[in-house]
Amino acid sequence: MNIWIKILYAIISISVATIYGLILGGFVRKIYARAHGRFGPPIWQPFLDIIQTHGRRVAISHGVMYYLGPVFRLGGGLGTYLFIPVIYGSVVFANFSMAGDLLLVMYFIFFGQLGMALGAGQGGHPYSPLGIARGLAQMSAFEVPFSLAVIAVAIQYQSLNITTIVAAQQGSILNWTLFTNPFAVIAAMISLLGMNMHSPFSIVLAPQEIPIGPPIEMNGSFLGILQTNRGLFAAAKLVLFMNLFFGGATNLLIMVIKTFFIYLVSVIVGASFPRFRPEQSFRFFLKWPTIIGIIGIIFVAYF
């Protein structure tokens, strides 16, 4: 295929994913508001926020790395998404999945968060090191059960190619990893709670404790970049989990349905439980989901 056509398809795919992720964010804010007895903002509020932030200018300078943080964050979201096949068998939504595997996607997930940490470290705010330490520690904690789940999937399907993993789950719902190795899926879904940073794992921003974070330290177009990445990265993670554990999708409708219910798990948990203290969060990820992930590897290796 002509490389320019492939790039055009990738742009279309990124646009669809970003819009979908932002709409999901609007739904989440509405659901949380209803759970708290409020009406909440309109579903299209994330789009209005991005337009507003891009219309403002920044007059404060903190250094080059501070402003590269959002760029690295967006780069991590783009890299994660571009190497994942969104629709199985689709030419438009295949992205560049033939050029990378699951390990590359995991590196991009880490790249975006590490880049944002480097940017926050140059912000000059006295609480920035606290947020960085919490964020990186929690990321290291939830990456352990997620990595164990990925190892279990790689052993089960004898491949790290995401398209191959999706292909192995076709034919019947019983072929999904959800049914063939439920322990790996449970470990991964618990890890997703930490990736999405809803309660009880919202320890980085912690709005009731330290009123800081990107919404305050970043402004103007830099905040707009972060808000755009929030939609794209959310969609990328959901599509990845759908492909690895829930059979992938053969059309956009199935993709929307599956990813919506995957995301709904985080939303329901976040609306139902209070926030952990940092040490509680770290211990949780390194205990139960890690044990379940190890069981998932043993299950697929010996049974």
Q: Which residue, 254, 262, 260, 257, is CA-closest to 93?
A: 254
CA 268 from centre of chain = 17
Count of C-beta atoms within a 10 Å radius of residue 132: 19
Rounded Cα distance between 25 and 198, Å, is 12
- Work out the pLDDT band at 207, boundaries 50, 70, 90: low
Residue 197: the pLDDT is: 83
Between the alpha carbon of residue 47 and those of residues 24, 52, 102, 147, 220, the distances in Å are: 11, 9, 31, 34, 14
**Of residues 229 and 292, more confidently modeled:** 292
pLDDT digits (tens, 9 = 90+) for 107-127: 898 888 887 777 777 777 777
If we measure between CA atoms, which residue out of 213, 28, 221 comes closest to residue 131? Answer: 213
pLDDT band at 82 (very low <50, low <70, confident <90, very high): very high
Query: Does the structure show a pLDDT above 80 at 214?
Result: no
The pLDDT tens digits of the residues spanning 178-193 come to 999 999 999 999 999 9
Report whether 34 contacts 40 (CB < 8 A): yes
